Amino acid sequence: GAVVSQHPSRVICKSGTSVKIECRSLDFQATTMFWYRQFPKQSLMLMATSNEGSKATYEQGVEKDKFLINHASLTLSTLTVTSAHPEDSSFYICSASGTSGGAWETQYFGPGTRLLVL
């Protein structure tokens, strides 16, 4: 149980285009989803937290107009990187927490999406 998927796993795009990444909780209802960014050999950096049906809460320094987050259902959240630039190239990981086995505080992570902006 507690499986989180992400799609796509890898994406290459041209500078200036927008990229959408999907995060799905496959076997539980995710009341809260999180989006992280990870640079090589570094820890996870929280970008934003979203609750189903509410606006996302962004961490300091993260541009909400640049990284659009939608959490429209209890099983799906999307991150859209708008007008992507090479500096946006990174590993994006989502996580979800909810009511899996009563351990609502546990975050389960997706496999990540590698974004490369040319």
Partner 1 sequence: GENVEQHPSTLSVQEGDSAVIKCTYSDSASNYFPWYKQELGKGPQLIIDIRSNVGEKKDQRIAVTLNKTAKHFSLHITETQPEDSAVYFCAASYFGGSQGNLIFGKGTKLSVKP
Q: Which of 69, 79, 93, 115 binds partner 1 (CB under 8 A)?
A: 93
Smaller CB distance to partner 1: residue 14 or 41? 41
Smaller CB distance to partner 1: residue 6 or 77? 6
Q: Residue 3 corresponds to which tokens in the numbers above?
A: 């499986």
Smaller CB distance to partner 1: residue 64 or 114? 114
Beta strand 57-58 pairing with 44-51: antiparallel
Q: Does 11 help bind partner 1 (rule: CB under 8 A)?
A: no
Beta strand 108-109 pairing with 113-117: unpaired
Residue 8, C-beta contacts closer than 8 angstroms, at least 6 positions apart: 21, 113
Stretch that binds partner 1, among 12-20, 61-69, 75-83, 106-114 (CB under 8 A): 106-114
Q: Please report, as ranges, the residues that interact with partner 1 according to CB under 8 A.
A: 4, 6, 31-32, 34, 42-44, 46, 49, 51, 93, 95, 97, 104-112, 114
